[in-house]
Amino acid sequence: MTESTLGHADHAAPRPGGARGLVADWSSDQRAFKNVSWGKAMMWIFLLSDTFVFGCFLLAYMTARMSTTVPWPNPAEVFALHVGGTDVPLLLIAIMTFVLISSSGTMAMAVNFGYRRDRKKTAILMLLTAALGATFVGMQALEWTKLITEGVRPWGNPWGAAQFGSSFFMITGFHGTHVTIGVIFLLIIARKVWRGDYDVGARGFFTSRRGQYESVEIMGLYWHFVDLVWVFIFAFFYLW
């Protein structure tokens, strides 16, 4: 290279400002994602897209509730359980929430023991997380059965605004599907951990390099997301 060329290279072009500068920074800096695996990066992208979906559902619910001229059903009455001759408001929902939040704790411990390469404790905690998730889905099925028996349908209900039924089945059903899928994958990965696939680097689905328990961490990201979404559903749908 000539001296003039070297001198030109030493004086880099000024960086653009504003949004173009932000795009230039992210596109040129490889360090931002250099140590992140494809599996973890793709899970974050999926969770971001799923956040938009759940956000749209909740916004649609709030819009329908605030725009309807018919009185909205009172959640404390609709979701009450008859126990000992008394209607206890939101009892089943409170238990469901406690179960799902507890599963987030067991999942966090599973990831922690996965980092420590403790195969037995990791698998047991993942199985416990799956059991809590299955319990949540079972109680949600009980809740659906109760409301359907009482006359709630996607096109109407006996307590007021017709949009209540469609909002309830859409939002809780979509979330329950996520929990069910999570339980299935928890069982799959727990089985692979128990067999020692991550210790020997066995080939197959969801098996990383030898000694890497990254699939457990990726599963933890998904499960914590599902739990966090339920907190918003609980606040907007059951407490409002």
φ and ψ of 86, to 5 deg: -130, 140
Arithmetic mean of pLDDT, 32-38: 66
At residue 180, the pLDDT reads 97
CATH number, domain containing residue 88: 1.20.120.80
Residues 209 and 178 placed together within one structural domain of the fold: yes
Using pLDDT thresholds of 50, 70 and 90, give the confidence band for residue 9: very low
- Host H or E run for residue 172: helix 163-195
- How confident is the model over 134-184, as pLDDT tens digits? 999 999 999 999 999 988 898 888 888 889 999 999 999 999 999 999 999
**What number of CA atoms fall less than 13 Å from residue 113's CA on the CB side?**
18
Confidence of residue 7 (pLDDT cuts 50, 70, 90): very low
Which of the 8 DSSP states describes residue 156?
B
* pLDDT for residue 128 is more than 80: yes
If asked whether residues 26 and 87 sit together in one domain, one would say no
60-75 pLDDT, tens digit per residue, is: 999 999 998 888 888 8
Q: Which of 96, 107, 98, 99 is nearest to 172 (CA)?
A: 96
Q: Are residues 148 and 188 in the same domain?
A: yes
Residues 59 and 165 in one domain: yes
Residue whose entry in the numeric block shows the structure tokens 């400002």: 17
Q: Are residues 25 and 88 in the same domain?
A: no
Q: Are residues 109 and 188 in the same domain?
A: yes
One-letter amino acid for residue 147 of the chain: L
Residues whose CB is less than 8 angstroms from the CB of residue 230 and which lie 6 or more positions away in sequence, other chains included: 97, 100, 175
pLDDT range class, residue 45, cuts 50, 70, 90: very high
Mean pLDDT value across residues 15-37: 61
Amino acid at 100: L
**Residue 207's pLDDT band (cuts 50, 70, 90):** low
Judge contact between 190 and 216, C-beta under 8 A.
no
**Judgement on whether residues 27 and 110 belong to the same structural domain of the protein:** no
Q: What's the confidence (pLDDT) of residue 181?
A: 96
* Predicted confidence band of residue 31 (pLDDT cuts 50, 70, 90): low
**Distance between alpha carbon 65 and the CA centroid of its chain, in Å?**
25
Q: Are residues 151 and 111 in the same domain?
A: yes
Are residues 184 and 110 part of one domain?
yes
Q: What is the mean pLDDT of residues 100-106?
A: 95
Q: What is the band of 115 on the pLDDT scale with cuts at 50, 70, 90?
A: confident
75 with 158, same domain? yes
Q: Which phi and psi (to 5°) does residue 119 adopt?
A: -65, -45
- Looking at every residue in the chain, the average pLDDT score rounds to 84
Looking at the fold, whether 222 and 197 belong to one and the same domain comes out as: yes
Q: Exposed/middle/buried for 155, CB within 10 Å: 0-12, 13-18, 19+? A: exposed
pLDDT greater than 50 at residue 38? yes
Give the integer Cα–Cα distance in Å for 189 and 204.
11
Range of the domain at 30: 1-35
Q: How far apart are CA 106 and CA 43, in angstroms?
A: 20
Domain count, the chain: 2
Q: Is residue 113 domain-shared with residue 218, that is, in the same domain? A: yes
Res. 222: pLDDT tops 90: yes
